Amino acid sequence: MNSFDNLQEFLDQKVDEYNTPGFIENDPVSIPHRYSKKQDIEITGFLAATLAWGQRITIINKCTELFHLMDNAPYDFIINHKETDLKRLLSFKHRTFNATDTLYFIEVLSQIYGQYDSLEHIFVPNNKRDFSVEESLIHFHEYFFDLPDFPARTRKHVATPARKSACKRLNMFLRWMVRNDDRGVDFGIWDRIRPSQLICPCDLHVDRVARKLGLISRKQTDWLTALELTENLRKLDPEDPVKYDFALFGLGVEEKF
């Protein structure tokens, strides 16, 4: 890949190959695709992204287990549950995400949907018209841990650029909610954040492939790395840079590039 044009042509071809409904089945994005109500898509998307570490099949199975405990009606469960209904969640665990974390997530989501009709509101800093995704993620993190009784252990499950995290899972969640094309994978149900603003999720596979292709030069993987990668992807498509997440991830997982 010596030239910019060759790289763009190669990655556009890979986006076309992987940004298809066939991608859904084996990916955590399959979880929100089981639902049609906007709030259910948001809730299951957020929790599936939060739990997205480890093998994809394990993530899908654990999400299936979690939403089964909510009667496969997460929005209804969040806004209408009784205290006794929470007992069934005490058995849930995925890696270091345990019942304490689950119950706090339910509490915060209950508060959010008690005030707003969409989770999107919490990603818009102070109802601004113009803001960056960096501001959006920092604002979300501050809101999420604004309750006086939040468990300190749960903070590690919600990343923030303020701690220099690459925020891989939250950026993936935003991609699902914001990108709006006709390919059927991402939902495009939010409109306060534009696709051009999104930051590429920097997971292990994406990071490795991007470095091979010269799209990342930083030694570590942190928030600045995610910004560097996204800036380079914007040179290929300024309006929709994060579509290349499909290409980089697909090359890394399916083709072991």
At residue 94, the 3 state secondary structure works out as strand
Confidence of residue 110 (pLDDT cuts 50, 70, 90): very high
Burial class (CB in 10 A: 0-12, 13-18, 19+), 24: middle
Question: What pLDDT score was predicted for residue 1?
Answer: 45
Q: Say what the pLDDT of residue 3 is.
A: 73
Number of domains in the chain: 1
**Closest CA relative to residue 102, chosen from 151, 165, 169:** 151
Q: Tell me the C-alpha distance between 105 and 90, whole Å.
A: 13
Encode pLDDT of 188-225 as tens digits: 999 999 999 999 999 999 999 999 999 999 999 999 99
Confidence of residue 11 (pLDDT cuts 50, 70, 90): very high
- Kindly tell me the sign of the dihedral angle through the C-alpha atoms of 37, 202, 198, 193: positive
Q: Which range has the worst mean pLDDT, 147-151, 168-172, 183-187?
A: 147-151
- Is the distance from CB of 112 to CB of 74 less than 8 angstroms? no
DSSP H or E stretch at residue 140: helix 133-144
Q: What is the pTM of this model?
A: 0.96
What is the spatial distance between Cα 9 and Cα 107, in angstroms, rounded to a whole number? Answer: 46
Q: How far is the first Cα of the chain from the last one, in angstroms, to the nearest whole number?
A: 13
Residue 127, domain extent: 4-253
pLDDT at 238: 97
HEC-encoded secondary structure of 21-35: HHHCCCCHHHCHHHC
